[in-house]
Amino acid sequence: MEVFFRPTPSSSKTWETKGLGGRAYKRVGITLNLPKITIVTPSYNQGQYLEQAILSVLNQRYPNLEYIVMDGGSTDNSVEIIKRYADRLAYWQSKPDGGQASAIAKGFEMASGTILGWLNSDDLLCPDCLFTVANKFPQDGKTVALAGRCIMIGPSGEPLKVNLPIQRTWAKMLFYGHGLPQMSTLWTRTAYEQTGGLDTSLQFGFDADLFVRLRRLGEIAIASDYLAAFRLHPSSKTSTMQNIYQIEKQLIRERFGKGSFPSISRMFQRIRFSQRIRDRLAWEKDKAQVRKILALARKTENRYA
């Protein structure tokens, strides 16, 4: 078992920084009051992709970042990779845990950020993601989360398609799905605590369960920016645990009093078809932009922030 703590930087410092896209976020002599953002990365034997995920967070150059990596006792090269960047992590550990949801929940228990999110070890944050969240998160007292667009990538990082977030009521989330890309959705710590946090008894649907409870609590803002990339590969949970997801989805419906109803209906099919068309049109329109985003991310992978 290995554990490492590091004090996080004070938010009162004056920072001079630019986003990776070259956008200036501070003029000399002006202090930015950027919210502290905590990102938790759970990982287990994902050494093939872990370093890219870590660098996608660290290379944000976001000055008020708290980054926590929770490794489940990997037997591959994951710990070696984590140690390489340990001086930039607020905390990391490598020891057996109770699964992905438990690891994320334990990370959030240590979090001191006002905005929270998690990034799986095979996914990526897009350049400028955290600055975009800080700039666009509504401060209206009603908004509990912000969701942006997501790029779907293949095992080698090649762009495949895009996924746009959908604004839905919590009841419609139960019927049609929550409609939010997990890796490009962040929320306030206050809201997270009010909902009771993650349900660690769930193996796959704990993000859907959390998003429904967040939506019941307040508004979820939608951003038109691409904030993260979701990697599809043969060993990902999305590829291997669909049966468990369907079971847990029904449990979530029953939990919120919606009971059982046909998952395949004419209305459901129309909604899903319209979603695919909308995402397809966005992909055709934004294809060049998406490729530039991924090219910029690749350019910085070998440069330690």
Give 105-130 pLDDT, tens digit per residue. Answer: 999 999 999 999 999 999 999 999 99
d(CA 230, CA 207): 14
Q: Which residues pair with 2 in a beta bridge?
A: 94
Question: In angstroms, what CA-CA distances link 279 with 151, 232, 264, 269?
Answer: 10, 16, 20, 15
Ordered by where they begin, the domains of the chain are 2-301 (3.90.550.10)
Name the pLDDT band for 31 (thresholds 50, 70, 90). Answer: very low
Mean pLDDT of the 170-190 span: 93
Asked if 228 and 181 count as a contact pair (C-beta separation under 8 A), the reply is: yes
Q: What is the per-residue pLDDT for 176? A: 83
Greatest alpha-carbon span in the chain? 60
Q: What is the per-residue pLDDT for 3? A: 55
Q: What is the per-residue pLDDT for 15? A: 35
Q: What is the per-residue pLDDT for 134? A: 97
User: 237-263 burial string, b = 16+ CB within 10 Å, else e?
Assistant: eeeeeeeebeebbbebbeeeeeeeeee
d(CA 153, CA 146): 22
Residue located via tokens 């995402």: 279
Asked if 298 and 157 count as a contact pair (C-beta separation under 8 A), the reply is: yes
d(CA 250, CA 254): 6
Helices (H) and strands (E) in the chain, counts: 10, 10
Name the pLDDT band for 240 (thresholds 50, 70, 90). Answer: low
Residue 101's identity, in one-letter code, is: A
Compare 42 and 176 and report the one with higher pLDDT. Answer: 42
- pTM to 2 decimals? 0.87
Asked if 121 and 50 count as a contact pair (C-beta separation under 8 A), the reply is: yes
d(CA 155, CA 274): 27
Mean pLDDT of the 232-256 span: 77
Asked if 275 and 178 count as a contact pair (C-beta separation under 8 A), the reply is: no
User: 208-226 burial string, b = 16+ CB within 10 Å, else e?
Assistant: bbbbbbbbebbbbbbbebb
The 3-class SS string of 46-88 reads CHHHHHHHHHHHHCCCCCCEEEEEEECCCCCCHHHHHHHCHHH
Q: What is the per-residue pLDDT for 226? A: 98
d(CA 63, CA 157): 27
